[in-house]
Structure 1
Amino acid sequence: MSDHAGMSSSEEAGRLAELVAELDRLLSAALTHDDPEQMRDPFMRAAGTLTEFGDVEAAGGLYRIWMNIDDIFDGWPVDYGDETDAIAMREIRLAAGEWLATPKTEAGISAYVDRWEARQAPDDWPDPGGVWIAGGWGGGPRGNRAVK
């Protein structure tokens, strides 16, 4: 991996544009599926793509939050039993949908990563019965939890 400090601003912008185009393509593909494995495959390819862009500042944060989502499929750190696939797919839909709506600027991507890091911070994330609405962070990452 090269150090992004050694790149010119135009080289950095080019690398970011290349990364964004590939992530947009893969995450759009993930959203076309209702089958867990078919949705997971392009989502994981998007996460894998991030490892090829270690010189892009945003790549590390995106990789961490997307791998946390993928861990749900594997029952880690909590096994949700029969709800596992539905919960993981819900989180992929939210993460991908928000990514596609995010301004692809340094500030926009940073805000996206910050929101998802805050969302994933609570010990009970992901809440199996909760429903989060994209952009509805309100008083925090759990601002729009459905009332049971």
Structure 2
Amino acid sequence: MLQRHTEVTTEFRRDECNPITRDVLTRVGDKWTVFTVVVLGGGPKRFNELKRSIDGISQRMLTLTLRTLERDGIVTRSVFPTVPPRVDYALTPLGMTLLRTLKDLHDWVSSNADEITQARAAFDRRSAVQQPL
């Protein structure tokens, strides 16, 4: 099996791991954030459209996720003066850059899925041999 190597720096300056960096990385690594951003990548959605599109998310979790994404400037919330009020959520330009990053991550997983599957199988075989019966 061919090993692919790329030049990646693994050293972080102390200021690169500040609280905002850790907080945002935690947020964008959250599964509900990923699903919400991906769904909104298809265009503006109402709350219930989002909820129906994200399997397993509760109303409370979607509300919390949207609020945090809005606070971080990734999502906009637009209220229209109708009866009843209509509220749409959409990605901001910053949110679109996150969507592109998530697509790159998805593409990486897809292109390396076979190698990951083989690594998991090898690990599981080693773990099974090491486990006492």
| TM norm structure 1 | 0.31
Q: Which structure shows the bigger proportion of residues in strand conformation?
A: 2
| TM norm structure 2 | 0.33
Structure 1 or 2, whichever has the larger Rg, is 2
